[in-house]
């Protein structure tokens, strides 16, 4: 039986030496709108690139109305070189327009409403709800999916299945923090290929499902 309480306590301690995810940092000082936009920028993009792009963008436009009025070429330049920056620039403008026209400039605080925004998937919606509004949700990205399956805590095929498996199994006190903890841990210790099991404090609890080589 995998002891999730011990595992997350050990990971929280281990993570103190690492830099937290950029979207988490932004959520401590900014609004749900900033969380939403920075999360969109972060998809398939390294954290440092997201950090720099978010800083440039928010310096140029700090709310949906300002951002929707930025000319697309300028917006592309502001967020470059995030992954798929041209597509993201177009979607950001579209989302900002919807926020202004339908939601009076506010970001919805419900997952189902957020999913109506073009380009917003369950990961982003859950992150906005948890980090932006401190409401219950479980954000599952590739790290959360990989690590919880690697532990043997869940047995799922994709992040969507993992989210709903965790909603059934994970104690609610960890819902808001599971993503932060495992993203940081997954970037530094429990990496996708050849995880650093020799220095992992959770190694003795982990079933290492799917791990064929480790350090």
pLDDT of residue 3: 96
User: Are the C-beta atoms of residues 53 and 80 closer than 8 Å to each other?
Assistant: yes
The torsion angles phi and psi of 146, rounded to 5 degrees, stand at: -65, -50
Fold classified for 4-18+138-199 = Endonuclease Iii, domain 2 (1.10.1670)
pLDDT of residue 1: 81
Domain ranges of the chain: 4-18+138-199, 22-133
User: Are the C-beta atoms of residues 142 and 148 closer than 8 Å to each other?
Assistant: no
In this structure, the number of other CB atoms found within 10 A of the CB of residue 8 comes to 20
56, 59, 61, 90: which is closest to 73 by C-alpha?
Answer: 90
User: Are the C-beta atoms of residues 17 and 187 closer than 8 Å to each other?
Assistant: no
User: Are the C-beta atoms of residues 83 and 44 closer than 8 Å to each other?
Assistant: yes
Task: Note if the pTM is more than 0.85.
Answer: yes
One digit per residue, pLDDT tens: the chain, 215 residues?
Answer: 899 999 999 999 999 999 999 999 999 999 999 999 999 999 999 999 999 999 999 999 999 999 999 999 999 999 999 999 999 999 999 999 999 999 999 999 999 999 999 999 999 999 999 999 999 999 999 999 999 999 999 999 999 999 999 999 999 999 999 999 999 999 999 999 999 999 999 999 999 999 999 99
- Domain 22-133 sits in CATH at 1.10.340.30
């Amino acid at each position: 039986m995998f002891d999730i309480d011990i595992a997350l306590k050990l990971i929280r301690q281990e993570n103190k030496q690492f830099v937290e995810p950029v979207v988490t940092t932004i959520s401590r000082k900014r609004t749900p709108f900033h969380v939403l936009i920075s999360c969109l920028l972060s998809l398939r993009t390294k954290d440092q690139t997201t950090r720099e792009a978010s800083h440039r963008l928010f310096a140029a436009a700090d709310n949906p109305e300002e951002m929707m009025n930025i000319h697309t070429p300028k917006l592309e330049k502001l967020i470059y070189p995030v992954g798929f920056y041209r597509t993201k620039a177009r979607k950001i403008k579209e989302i900002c327009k919807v926020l202004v026209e339908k939601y009076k400039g506010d970001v919805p605080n419900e997952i189902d409403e957020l999913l109506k925004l073009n380009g917003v998937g369950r990961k982003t919606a859950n992150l906005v709800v948890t980090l932006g509004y401190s409401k219950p949700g479980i954000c599952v990205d590739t790290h959360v999916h990989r690590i919880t399956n690697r532990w043997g805590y869940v047995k799922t095929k994709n992040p969507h299945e993992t989210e709903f498996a965790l909603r059934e199994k994970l104690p609610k006190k960890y819902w808001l923090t599971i993503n932060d903890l495992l993203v940081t841990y997954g970037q530094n210790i429990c990496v996708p290929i050849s995880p650093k099991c020799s220095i992992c404090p959770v190694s003795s609890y982990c079933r290492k499902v799917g791990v064929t080589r480790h350090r």
